[in-house]
Amino acid sequence: MILITGGTGYIGSHTCIELINAGYEVVIFDNFSNSSKESLRRVEKIVNKSIPFIEGDIRSKNDLQKVFDTYTIDSVIHFAGLKAVGESVGNPLKYYDNNVSGTVTLCSVMKENSCKSIIFSSSATVYGDPHSVPIKEDFPLSATNPYGRSKLIIEEILRDIYVSDNSWKIVLLRYFNPIGAHISGSIGEDPNGIPNNLMPFITQTAVGKLKHLNIFGDDYDTHDGTGVRDYIHVVDLAQGHLKALNKLKDFKEVMTFNLGTGIGYSVKDMINSFESVSKKKINAKIAPRRAGDIAKCYADSSYAKEILGWEAKKDINDMCKDSWRWQSINPNGYKN
């Protein structure tokens, strides 16, 4: 059985569907700090079966031990973590406590229960402000904000665990910018409060939930002055986890993979594409740059293609179309 921490969250919920459809049995562990019980109900409806679930906090040894007492866990896919760059700058201790301490607790409980197989949800933020693009896995690592640094610290912790005991199977997946939603439109990204990520900001503006979209900075060194990112469909990303899980047992070292499309789109590119597929005009305003943001970030994912046989299949129009379907059907997210 596969333990999915943070399995009711945006990426976790989509990954559960891909794993179950591929024949894996999963148990979800989550505390709903940035997710909803409704997302679990809808995932169960999509896969047409009940999914084992234990509510708990990643920092609680007792909560985690309940999972291992109840189920035989073969591998862990570790999504649970706080992920807002801006919040991390304002409250770094919260991020180190939840993301770093939580992972240490998880790995300790795994070790005590002889489960030594983990896929970690890392991030392109571990590359800091890259010296060039596209970004390869062997680029220098650094961080421009505490969120990214928490991911970097966890990667180092996992490497140290492997050095101490190389019977561990560890994969680090560095995501670029997940957007989109399940084709059914019944699950998608539903952030608490004002969104931190671009696409929910666009879709919530389109649906009238927000009055306007803030474009944080238009003076970056990019083709139109707005930040350039590698946006990847969440279902492609979920498929990346499935491919990594299928190969996990074969790896003889800590494996690291970028998961992105290899294409950089600016904020304005994304707005234009969204307006084209949705036929909605987005009211956008220029705002000051955000602390910790960088100009350009997009992936070279050729290593994932070579080793995992994975590559992103969905394009920018698919991403915008699926994001809009989710938001238009669920203008208030899971609170409908």
What is the DSSP code (8-state) at residue 290? Answer: P
Mean pLDDT, the chain, integer: 96
CB-CB contact of 61 with 108 (8 Å): yes
Give the confidence band of 195 by pLDDT, cuts at 50, 70, 90: confident
Least Cα distance to 184 among 334, 336, 325 occurs for: 325
Q: How many domains does the chain have?
A: 1
- Determine, yes or no, domain membership for 301: no
Distance, in Å, from the CA atom of 79 to the CA atom of 14, rounded to the nearest integer, reads 12
Q: Determine phi and psi for 158, rounding to 5 degrees.
A: -65, -35
Question: Which range is least confidently modeled, 93-97, 127-131, 314-318?
Answer: 127-131
* Residue 55, domain extent: 2-179+231-260
Residue spans of beta strands (DSSP E) within 46-114: 53-55, 75-78
- Confidence check: pLDDT of 116 > 80: yes
- Is 334 catalytic? The answer is no
CATH of the domain at 70: 3.40.50.720
- Determine, yes or no, domain membership for 302: no
- Helices 146-164 & 102-112 angle (0-180, nearest 10): 20
- Determine, yes or no, domain membership for 42: yes
pTM comes to 0.96
| Burial (CB count <10 Å: 0-12, 13-18, 19+), residue 205 | buried
Contacts of 120 (CB under 8 A, 6+ apart): 78, 103, 154, 155, 158, 170, 171, 172, 173
- Determine, yes or no, domain membership for 129: yes
Q: Which pLDDT does position 256 carry in this prediction?
A: 98
- Determine, yes or no, domain membership for 310: no
3-state secondary structure of 186: coil
Least Cα distance to 139 among 127, 154, 152, 124 occurs for: 127
User: Exactly one of 24, 147, 220, 231 is catalytic; which is it?
Assistant: 147
Write out pLDDT tens, residues 19-46.
Answer: 999 999 999 999 999 899 999 999 999 9
- Determine, yes or no, domain membership for 288: no
- Determine, yes or no, domain membership for 145: yes
Q: Which pLDDT does position 192 carry in this prediction?
A: 83
